[in-house]
């Protein structure tokens, strides 16, 4: 079924368990609160949908779209916000949900942008963390998996809009040697 995939790194069951664990921590940390959960488009939408269905707290969902990749497999370092939040986050707790944190350029830019709206707090939730690629000193508060420096696709992660719908995460053959 995935003939373009060199290796499956995380299957559906592993991803589901990670989402359960992250949701458990968010439910505990935000009990009695009403955070604004901001999904970073497009990559986080599948993880975000699975995550919020596991939450037992009240929350508001909003979206932001930012990218530093374009059609490349490596971040350019130039972040562009093309879709802005609409929720009022002043004095609110904010959880930014991202698919992957690698160089840190995008999430650092987004958190600085959001600080301009005077939220009470900002925490970062990412399904995948690649600390070996970090250029900007930023750490996630909630992480599903720490990964090696591989270009990965599936479960929302794409390469030129391909592979997003895979229910698992793997390394595409065309990228495995880069």
Q: What are the 10-residue block averages of pLDDT along the chain, 178 residues in total?
A: 86 98 98 98 96 98 82 63 93 97 93 97 98 94 95 93 94 68
- pLDDT score recorded for residue 88: 97
Q: List, by residue number, the catalytic residues.
A: 102
The domain limits of the chain are 12-152
Edge-to-edge, what's the strand order for the sheet holding 121-129?
80-83, 60-67, 36-41, 93-101, 121-129, 142-146
Q: Which tokens is 108 given?
A: 């650092």
- pLDDT score recorded for residue 79: 85
- Phi, psi (rounded to 5 degrees) for 154: 110, 160
- pLDDT score recorded for residue 82: 84
- Phi, psi (rounded to 5 degrees) for 19: -65, -40
CATH of region 12-152: 3.40.50.2020
**pLDDT tens digit sequence for 109-158:** 999 999 999 999 999 999 999 999 899 999 999 999 999 989 999 999 99
- pLDDT score recorded for residue 74: 55
């Amino acid at each position: 079924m995935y003939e373009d995939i060199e290796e499956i790194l995380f299957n559906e069951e592993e991803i589901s368990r990670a989402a359960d664990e992250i949701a458990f921590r968010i439910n505990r940390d935000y009990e009695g609160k009403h955070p604004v959960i901001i999904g970073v488009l497009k990559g986080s939408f599948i993880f975000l949908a699975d995550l919020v269905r596991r939450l037992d707290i009240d929350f508001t969902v909003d979206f932001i779209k930012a990218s530093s990749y374009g059609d490349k497999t490596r971040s350019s370092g130039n972040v562009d916000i093309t879709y802005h939040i609409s929720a009022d986050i002043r004095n609110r707790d904010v959880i930014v949900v991202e698919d992957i944190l690698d160089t840190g350029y995008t999430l650092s830019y987004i958190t600085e942008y959001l600080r301009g709206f005077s939220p009470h707090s900002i925490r970062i939730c990412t399904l995948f963390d690649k600390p070996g690629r970090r250029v900007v000193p930023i750490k996630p508060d909630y992480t599903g998996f720490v990964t090696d420096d591989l270009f990965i696709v599936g479960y929302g992660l794409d390469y030129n809009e391909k592979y997003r719908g895979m229910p698992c995460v793997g390394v595409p053959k065309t990228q495995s040697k880069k």
